[in-house]
Amino acid sequence: MKILTLVFVLLFGIIGKAQELKGTVLNIKNNEPIVGASVYFDNTSIGTITNFNGEFSINLKQPINSPLVVSFIGFETQIHTIKNFNTIKQFKLKEDINALEEVVLNSKDEWSRQYKLKQFRREFLGQSEFAKQCKILNEDALILNFERETKQLIASANSPIIIKNEALDYIIKYDIKDFAITYNINLESNLDLEKAFKTVASVVYSGTTFFENIKSKKHKRALRNREKAYIGSTLHFMRAIANNRIKKEKFKVFKGQYQTDPSLYIKTFKNDSLNVTEVELLMKLNILCKGRQSAIKSEVKRFYIDAYGNHSPIDKVLFGGFMARQRIGDFLPVNYGL
């Protein structure tokens, strides 16, 4: 009898730690509930939509550092850091005035829309085998401008971009905040700038992402593709660091061109109060995993990795090689495999 009681107490303790986020989404103008608002944790498949009372409920298996995104078409998107899951949240959205304004296109734009779409698809979706199986379902929502002075292709959108990834069986909703491709191009050339020789100097983009699982007739193949996309990815490496499994996960770490022991240059410290692993990266390192070469450098003394493999601050940990080349077409939700 005592054994049964102990088992019950242990199970109750485990269940009691499960986190549930509850709340409502209202129109700030009249406090009316917003029906069908999207509420999700960024870069995950963890989310829901509000019911007829504007209410939502999201269950989490373990703590997460991803910001919570609250959005609805015609209203300004809100992004929140959730630290306390025990209180019922209330989010009040206000109408997005900019969404009602007429978009003014650059009359001096020298690139056709079709050419700009081609450039955008290549750098946004990527050029991998999986990226080639992606399709943007609402390209009409994209606003694209080539700015001669800055040599940049600027992209924005009046609603989240919806991508169908047939290789990985995801519908991805991406809410663009910033997107810019900067080119090396000779502006003095007499050639049509579409035809002029150019190279991409940099690609900078930011936004929020939500993944929806779909089950096609080729879902088993998609599951294998997901595993392939995961191997050697940023998510894979961050989880390997947090769980002290760098070698076991088949990552090789190099100082310059010489292989080295990862523990000499990657120091980890468990922070149980915040449910994160603190990481000190002592220098720029090169990484090899199953033929995929990458590089990593930290611009802060310490960065943090949560139980999902989320790292922060995301803009202070820089990548090169394979990890840097991955685009939306290769992305997985951070709760992948958990």
| Burial of 54 from C-beta contacts in 10 A (0-12 / 13-18 / 19+) | buried
How far apart are the C-alpha atoms of 159 and 329, rounded to whole Å? 19
> 107 with 95, same domain?
no
> 235 with 325, same domain?
yes
The string of pLDDT tens digits covering residues 131-177 is 999 999 999 999 999 998 899 999 999 899 999 999 999 999 999 99
**Angle at 240 (CA atoms; ends 235, 242), nearest 5 degrees:** 95
Q: How many domains does the chain have?
A: 3
Answer yes or no: is 220 within a domain.
no
> 208 with 238, same domain?
no
Among 177, 210, 165, smallest CA distance to 38 is for: 210
Count of CB atoms within 10 A of residue 26's CB?
18
DSSP state of 73: T
Answer yes or no: is 336 within a domain.
no
How far apart are the C-alpha atoms of 274 and 154, rounded to whole Å? 38
Q: What local confidence, expressed as pLDDT, does residue 328 receive?
A: 96
Three-class SS of 139-206: HHHEEEEEECCCCEEEEEECCCEEEEECCCCEEEEEEEEEEEEEEEECCCCCCCCCCCCEEEEEEEEE
> 263 with 205, same domain?
no
Q: Are 256 and 288 in contact (CB under 8 A)?
A: no
Out of 179, 213, 247, pick the residue that ends a domain. 213
> 109 with 199, same domain?
yes
301-305: long-range contacts, CB 8 A cutoff, minimum separation 24: 302/278, 303/278, 303/279, 304/65, 304/271, 304/274, 304/276, 304/277, 304/278, 304/279, 305/238, 305/239, 305/241, 305/242, 305/276, 305/277, 305/279
- The C-alpha R_g of the chain, in whole angstroms, comes to 22
> 241 with 315, same domain?
yes
Domain that holds residue 60: 2-99
Out of 99, 114, 131, pick the residue that ends a domain. 99
Phi then psi dihedrals of residue 44, to 5 deg: -135, 180
What single-letter amino acid sits at 272?
D
Percent of the chain whose pLDDT exceeds 70: 89
- Calculate the CA dihedral of residues 146, 149, 150, 153 and round it to 10 degrees: 0
Q: Name the β-bridge partners of 311.
A: 305
For 283, what's the count of Cα atoms within 13 Å in the CB-facing half-sphere?
Answer: 11
What mean pLDDT value characterizes the chain?
A: 89
> 242 with 319, same domain?
yes
> 261 with 201, same domain?
no
CA-CA-CA-CA torsion sign (205, 207, 212, 213): positive
> 144 with 163, same domain?
yes
Answer yes or no: is 219 within a domain.
no
Answer yes or no: is 80 within a domain.
yes
> 160 with 242, same domain?
no
> 124 with 87, same domain?
no
Check pLDDT > 60 for residue 255: yes
Q: Are 274 and 263 in contact (CB under 8 A)?
A: no
What single-letter amino acid sits at 86?
N
Q: Are 324 and 296 in contact (CB under 8 A)?
A: no
Answer yes or no: is 140 within a domain.
yes
Q: Which two structure tokens, joined as six digits, stand for 42?
A: 């960024």
Percent of the chain whose pLDDT exceeds 90: 74
Out of 65, 99, 133, pick the residue that ends a domain. 99
Answer yes or no: is 246 within a domain.
yes
Q: What is the mean pLDDT of residues 17-27?
A: 88
Answer yes or no: is 119 within a domain.
yes
Expressed in percent and rounded to 5, the helix, strand and coil fractions of the chain are 20, 40, 40
Place 190 in a pLDDT band, splitting at 50, 70 and 90: low
Q: What is the mean pLDDT of residues 2-27?
A: 58
Among 236, 261, 243, smallest CA distance to 323 is for: 236
Q: Name the β-bridge partners of 80.
A: 68
Q: What is the mean pLDDT of residues 97-117?
A: 73
Of 123 and 216, the one with more pLDDT: 123
Among 338, 305, 270, 306, smallest CA distance to 64 is for: 306
Q: What local confidence, expressed as pLDDT, does residue 83 receive?
A: 85
Q: What is the mean pLDDT of residues 90-106?
A: 74
Answer yes or no: is 267 within a domain.
yes
Instruction: Look up the CATH number of the domain holding residue 6.
Output: 2.60.40.1120
Check pLDDT > 80 for residue 107: no
> 25 with 55, same domain?
yes
